[in-house]
Structure 1
Amino acid sequence: MTAAIAAQIKKLAATTDLFQHQIAARLEINQGRVSEVLSGKRYANVPAAK
């Protein structure tokens, strides 16, 4: 996972009504990684993508 993907996760979470598993499927990553990004355990300092 990269900082760019983390930024996309944050953008999708903020601008859509998608659930974590839907964001994960869209970005082809594990749902656990989405959870870690959104909870601040990973890439806490990365802002949402524009």
Structure 2
Amino acid sequence: MHQQSYRLTEKDAIEIWLRYWGGEFQHHIAASYGVNPGRVNEVIKRKRLVGSETIALSMRRDH
């Protein structure tokens, strides 16, 4: 039986941006969500969950 893959949410994508900007490797971020590193790369390359970068940037400025 095929196990359903985890689908990244906007909240996940925001956290991905923050972790990526903090210097964490994409494959480490992907492993923590149990997804293929390509899914994290799609967020970083602005192919998925596009608005998440703007939200993450505003959160980063607030801290």
TM norm structure 1: 0.79
Instruction: Report percent identity of matched pairs.
Output: 37
> Unpaired runs of 5+ in structure 1?
none
Aligned to 1:10: 17
Q: Tell me the number of residue pairs that the alignment of Structure 1 and Structure 2 aligns.
A: 49
Cα offsets for 1:1-45 (capped at 9, x unmatched): 211111111110012x22110111122222111000000001111
Supply the distance in 2 between the matched residues of 1:48 and 1:14 (Cα, whole angstroms). 10
Letter in 2 for 1:45: G
What is the TM-score when the length of structure 2 is the normalising length?
0.66
Which residue type is aligned with residue 15 of structure 2? Q
1:48 correspondence with 2:56: yes
RMSD (Å), alpha carbons: 1.6
For structure 2, the residue ranges without an aligned partner over 5 or more in a row are 1-7
Larger RCO, structures 1/2 (Cα 8 Å, 6+ apart):
1
Residue 35 of structure 1: aligned partner? 41
Aligned pair 1:26/2:32, yes or no? yes
The whole-number CA distance in structure 2 between the counterparts of 1:32 and 1:26 is: 14
